[in-house]
Structure 1
Amino acid sequence: MLDEKNDNLQDADGEKNQETTVESTSQPQETQQDQPANEPENAADLPEQKTEDDDAHTEIDQSNAEDAEDEGNKDRHEIPLLDYHAMSMEKLVEELDKLVNKQRVQAIKTHVDQIKSEFDLKYQDLYEQKKDDFIENGGNEIDFYYVSPAKKEFNEIYGTYREKRNQYYKSLEERLNNNLENRQQIIEELKGLINVEENINDTYKHFKNLQDRWRNAGPIPRVQYNDVWRTYHHHVERFYDFLDLNRELRDLDFKKNLEEKLKIIEQAEALAEIPDANKAFRELQILHKIWKEDLGPVDREHRENIWERFSAATKTIHHKRQEYFKNQDEIHEVNLAAKQEIIKKIKAITERPPHNHGGWQKLIKEIEALREEFFNAGRVPYKDNERTWSEFKGAVRRFNRSKNEYYKSLKKSQHVNLEKKMELVKIAEQNKDSEDFDQTTPLMKRIQADWKKIGHVPRKYSDKIWNEFKSACNHYFNRLHEAKNEYIKDELQAFEKKQNFMDSLKGYQLSGDKEKDLEQIKSFIADWKSIGRVPKNKKNIEGKFNKVLDGLFKKLNLGKQKSELIKYGNKVDQLANSDNENLIQNERIFIRRKIDEVKSEIRQLENNLQFINADDNNPIVMDVRKNIQKHHEDLDLWKAKLKEIKNISLD
Structure 2
Amino acid sequence: MSEQDNLQDADGKLTINENKSAKVEVLETQEETSDHPDKIQDNVSDEIEANAPELTSDNEEQASVSEEDSNVSTETKKDAHVDEIEESNAEDAEDESNSERHSLEEKDYHAMSMEQLVIEFEKLLKHQKIQTIKSHVDEIKSEFNSKFTEVLEEKKEDFLNDGGDEIDFYYTSPAKKEFNTLYKEYRNGLNAYYKNLEANLKANLETRLQIIEEIKGLINVEENINTTYKHFKDLQEQWRNAGPIPRDKYNNAWNTYHHHVEIFYDFLHLNRDLRDMDFKHNLDQKLKIIERAEELAKDDNVNRSFRELQVLHKMWKEDLGPVDKEHREAIWERFSNATKTIHDKRQAYYADLDKAYEKNLERKEGIIEQINTVANDQGNTHQAWQKKIKTIEALRQEFFNAGKVPIKVNEATWSKFKEAVRVFNRKKNAFYKGLKKDQYDNLQKKLELIKIAEDNKDSDDFETVTPLMKKIQSDWKKIGHVPRKDSDKIWKKFKAACNHYFDRVHEQRKLENKDLYDAFDKKVKLLDAIKNLKLTGKSEADIETIKKKISDWKALGSVPYNKRYIEGKFNKALDEVFNKLKMDKSEVEMIKFENKLENLSQPDDTRLLDNEHNFIRKKIDEVKSEINQLENNLQFFSNVDDDNPLVKDVLNNIEKHKDNLNVWEEKLKKLKDMY
Instruction: Tell me which interval the TM-score lies in, with the shorter structure as reference length.
Output: 0.5 to 0.7
Which entry has the higher C-alpha Rg, 1 or 2? 1
Please tell me the residue identity of whatever aligns with 1:457.
V
Cross-structure match for 2:573: none
Show the counterpart of 2:529.
none
Which of 126, 129, 140 is residue 165 of structure 2 equivalent to? Answer: 140
Q: Quick one: distance in 2 between partners of 1:496 and 1:264?
A: 107
Matched, 1:318 2:354: no
Equivalences for 1:98-109 in 2 at 5 Å?
A: 98-109=123-134
C-alpha contact 1:335 1:377 (8 A) present in aligned 2: yes
- Structure 2 distance, partners of 1:372, 1:380, is 16
Q: How does 1:209-224 map to 2 (within 5 A)?
A: 209-224=234-249
The answer to whether the aligner puts 1:490 opposite 2:547 as a matched pair is no
Quote how far apart the aligned CAs of 1:266 are. 3.0
CA distance in 2, matches of 1:24, 1:340: 54
1:89 corresponds to: 114
Correspondent of 1:284 among 309, 327, 333: 309
- What code does the residue aligned with 1:159 have? K
Distance 1:331 1:388 in 2: 16
Q: Structure 2: which amino acid aligns with 1:298?
A: V
Contact 1:136 1:404 in 2 (8 A): yes
1:469 matched to which residue of 2?
A: 494
Supply the distance in 1 between the matched residues of 2:524 and 2:118 (Cα, whole angstroms). Answer: 80
Residues 340, 388 of structure 1: 8 Å contact kept = yes
Q: CA deviation at 1:25?
A: 9.4
The alpha carbon displacement at 1:313 in A equals 2.2
Q: Which residue of 2 aligns with 1:356?
A: 381
Shift of residue 115 of structure 1? 1.6
Contact residue 371 and residue 420 of structure 2 kept, 8 A: yes
Per-residue deviation, 1:466: 2.2
Q: TM-score, normalised by structure 1?
A: 0.67
Tell me the equivalent position of 1:59: 84
Are residues 21 and 312 of structure 1, via their aligned partners in 2, closer, same or farther at CA, if it must alter by over 3 Å?
A: farther
Preserved CA contact (<8 Å) 1:71 1:219? yes
Q: Secondary structure at the match of 2:250?
A: helix
What is the alpha-carbon distance in structure 2 between the residues aligned to residue 286 and residue 81 of structure 1? 22
Match of 1:71, as an amino acid?
E
**Offset at residue 236 of structure 1 (A):** 0.6
CA RMSD for the aligned pairs? 3.5
Q: 1:265 to 1:452 in 2, by over 3 A?
A: farther
Q: Which amino acid aligns with 2:598?
A: I
CA distance in 2, matches of 1:545, 1:455: 46
Superposed displacement of residue 357, structure 1: 1.2
What is the one-letter code of the residue matched to 1:110?
A: S
1:413 lines up with 2:438 in the alignment: yes
Q: Is the Cα contact below 8 Å between 1:417 and 1:455 reproduced in 2?
A: yes
CA-CA distance at 1:243 after TM superposition:
0.9
Give yes or no for contact 1:353–1:360 (8 Å, CA) kept in 2: no
Residue 245 of structure 1: how far off its partner (Å): 2.5
Provide the residue aligned with 2:610 in structure 1: none
Counterparts in 2 of 1:564-575, with a 5 A limit?
567=604
Provide closer, same or farther for how the CA distance between residues 533 and 363 of structure 1 changes in structure 2, counting only shifts above 3 A: closer
1:337 aligned onto 2:362: yes
CA distance in structure 2 between the partners assigned to 1:532 and 1:462 by the alignment: 42
Task: Answer yes or no: is the 8 Å Cα contact 2:90–2:251 preserved in 1.
Answer: yes
**In the alignment, is the contact (CA less than 8 A) between 1:353 and 1:402 conserved in 2?**
no
TM-score, structure 2 length as denominator? 0.65
Code of the aligned partner of 2:382? H
8 A contact 1:60–1:285 mirrored in 2: yes
Q: Is residue 541 of structure 1 aligned with residue 598 of structure 2? A: yes
1:396-407 matches, cutoff 5 A:
396-407=421-432
Contact 1:429 1:472 (C-alpha < 8 Å) held by counterparts:
yes
Asked if structure 2 preserves the Cα contact closer than 8 Å seen for 1:424 and 1:447, the reply is: yes
1:375 aligns with 2:404: no
Change (3 A) 1:235 1:366: same
**In structure 2, C-alpha distance between the alignment counterparts of 1:436 and 1:529, rounded to whole Å:** 35
Aligned length: 486
Q: Which amino acid aligns with 1:38?
A: T
Distance 1:385 1:336 in 2: 9
**Does residue 120 of the first structure (1) align with residue 145 of the second (2)?**
yes
Query: Are positions 1:452 and 2:477 aligned together?
Result: yes
Post-superposition shift, 1:55? 2.0
Say whether the 8 Å CA contact 1:494–1:531 is kept in structure 2.
no
Q: 1:241 aligns with which of 250, 266, 275?
A: 266
Which of 38, 59, 64 is the matching residue for 2:74?
Answer: 38
Write the letter of the residue equivalent to 2:356: I
Q: Which of 185, 198, 214 is the equivalent residue of 1:160?
A: 185
- 1:84–1:114 CA contact under 8 A, matched in 2: yes
Distance 1:496 1:266, change over 3 A: closer
Task: Indicate the SS of the match to 1:195.
Answer: coil
* 1:445 shift after superposition: 5.8
Residue 229 (structure 1) shift: 0.1
Q: Relative to structure 2, which stretch is displaced further, 162-171 or 223-232?
A: 162-171
CA spacing shift, 1:251–1:415, aligned 2, 3 Å: same
| Structure 2 residue corresponding to 1:274, chosen from 281, 299, 304 | 299
Distance 1:271 1:478 in 2: 94
Over 3 Å counting, the alpha-carbon distance change for 1:352 and 1:238 in structure 2 is same
Question: Do the aligned partners of residues 425 and 199 (structure 1) sit closer, same or farther apart at CA in structure 2, a change above 3 Å counting?
Answer: same
Give a deviation string over 1:321-356, Cα, whole Å, max 9, x none: 111211121111111111111111112222224322
Deviation for aligned residue 1:367: 1.1
Describe the shift of the 1:470–1:540 C-alpha distance in structure 2 as closer, same or farther (beyond 3 A): farther
Residue 256 in 1 paired to residue 281 in 2? yes
CA distance in 2, matches of 1:156, 1:447: 57
The answer as to whether partners of 1:70 and 1:106 remain within 8 angstroms in 2 is no
How far off its partner does 1:89 sit? 1.7
**How far off its partner does 1:388 sit?**
1.3
Q: For residue 163 of structure 2, give the secondary structure of its aligned residue in structure 1.
A: coil
C-alpha distance in 2 between matches for 1:20 and 1:152: 55
Distance 1:25-1:399 versus aligned 2 partners, 3 A rule: farther
Q: Structure 2 vs 1, CA of residues 248 and 430 (structure 1 numbering), >3 Å: closer, same or farther?
A: same
Q: Which residue of 1 aligns with 2:227?
A: 202
Q: In structure 1, list runs of 5 or more residues that go unmatched.
A: 1-18, 47-53, 498-527, 547-566, 572-651
State how far apart, in whole Å, the 2-side matches of 1:496 and 1:380 are. 81
Query: Counterpart of 2:103?
Result: 78
Q: Percent identity?
A: 59
SS in 1 for 2:96: coil
Aligned residues of 2:160 and 2:166 also touching (Cα < 8 A): yes
Aligned-residue offset at 1:22: 7.0
Displacement of 1:462 in angstroms is 1.1
Q: 1:275 to 1:480 in 2, by over 3 A?
A: farther
Q: Is the 8 A contact 1:494 1:532 kept in 2?
A: no
Letter in 1 for 2:439: Q
How much has 1:262 moved relative to structure 2?
Answer: 2.6
Distance in 2, Cα, partners of 1:346 & 1:316: 45
Gap change, CA 1:206 and 1:450, over 3 Å in 2: same
SS at structure 2 position matched to 1:246: helix
CA distance in 1, matches of 2:274, 2:184: 57
Partner of 1:563: none
Query: Shift of residue 71 of structure 1?
Result: 2.3
Write the deviation string for residues 225-259 of structure 1: whole angstroms up to 9, x where unpaired: 00110000001111111112322111221222223
Distance of aligned partners of 1:439 and 1:262 in 2 relative to their CA distance in 1, 3 Å threshold: farther
How far apart in 2 are the matches of 1:181 and 1:321? 37
Structure 1 residues 293 and 154: CA distance shift in structure 2, 3 A:
same
The alpha-carbon deviation at position 148 of structure 1 amounts to 2.5
Change (3 A) 1:228 1:495: closer
CA deviations over 1:86-122 (Å, ceiling 9, x no partner): 1222222222222233322221221122222222222
Query: AA paired with 1:348?
Result: T
Q: CA deviation at 1:381?
A: 1.2
1:496/1:324 CA distance change after superposition, 3 Å: closer
Within the candidate set 304, 309, 316, 2:334 is matched to 309
SS at match of 1:308: helix
Give 1:149's aligned amino acid: P
**In the TM superposition, what whole-angstrom CA distance separates every residue of 1:271-323 from its partner, at most 9, and x where no partner exists?**
33433322221221111111111111223444334323322221222122111
Aligned-residue offset at 1:380: 1.2
C-alpha displacement of 1:187: 0.6
